[in-house]
Structure 1
Amino acid sequence: MALLLAMTLPCGAAHAQSKAAEGEKIAFDRAKGNCLSCHNIKGGDLPGTIGPALKDIKSKYPDRNDLVAIVTDETVRNPQTAMPPFGRNRILTKQEIDAIVDFLQTL
């Protein structure tokens, strides 16, 4: 069934879904993105409350580049943030950040 569904989706949509799924894995991985340590995210277990709940992201950040910048290094916009600079400190690669942003845009 999943194969049939994948075959009926446009190639770009299937690729975007796979990147979002990979982003979700990274975001929920306690050793990688670890987004759940600070944020409440639908589908995640044991969320933190330091950061805002991650929901309605696409409406809050219609420009994808804003999300990439936040995950890469939020200290550029807000030097007082508790958000780790995942890109600047090389905690996540650019590809991993892109996947997380794809996931966040589905919330």
Structure 2
Amino acid sequence: MMNSKMKQLLTALAISTAVVAAPVSSVQAAEKAASTVEQGKKLATSRSKGNCLACHMMGDGAMPGNIGPALIAMKLRYPDKQKLFDKVWGTPESQTVPNSMMPPFGEHGILSDDEISKIVDYIYTL
């Protein structure tokens, strides 16, 4: 009898722990995603890295350039996030604008793939 009560108690404890732990991991995932977006914003606005503001109006960036298009409604313009990554990376297939002044950031080693992914995550929020 005591063993069955103990098993019920341990089972209830295990279930309640699993229920409580699930939201914590989803909160951590959301915080990680927000952190990635913030890192992408820093890279995109950094003069020594992405420097997207030199050519594009974007978000709350100060003193944007006007060589490139404004970075707004990016989810609508690039429903496939990989195509936006390819555009920033600089694959020849993604260069739909002939004689574009946008440098191929990945191809030329200006930014790493991880840095480009973070910038794309940020730009996707615009």
TM-score (norm 2): 0.74
Q: Structure 2: which 5+ runs fail to align?
A: 1-23
1:30 maps to which residue? 47
More helix by share: 2
Q: Cα–Cα, structure 1 residues 44 and 18, in superposed 2: closer, same or farther, change >3 Å?
A: same
Structure with max Cα Rg: 2
How large is the Cα RMSD of the aligned pairs?
1.7
Give CA deviations for 1:22-66 in whole Å, capped at 9, x if unaligned. 000000001110000000012101100000000110111111101
Q: Which protein, 1 or 2, shows the higher relative CO under an 8 Å CA cutoff with sep ≥ 6?
A: 1
Q: Is the 8 A contact 1:73 1:87 kept in 2?
A: yes
Match of 1:10, SS state, is: helix
Decide which of 44, 59, 79 is 1:42's aligned counterpart. Answer: 59
**Conserved 8 A contact 2:91-2:107:** no
Q: Using structure 1 for the length normalisation, give the TM-score.
A: 0.86
Residue 14 of structure 1 and its aligned partner are, at CA, apart by: 1.4
- What's the % identity of the aligned pairs? 43
Residues paired across the two proteins, number: 101
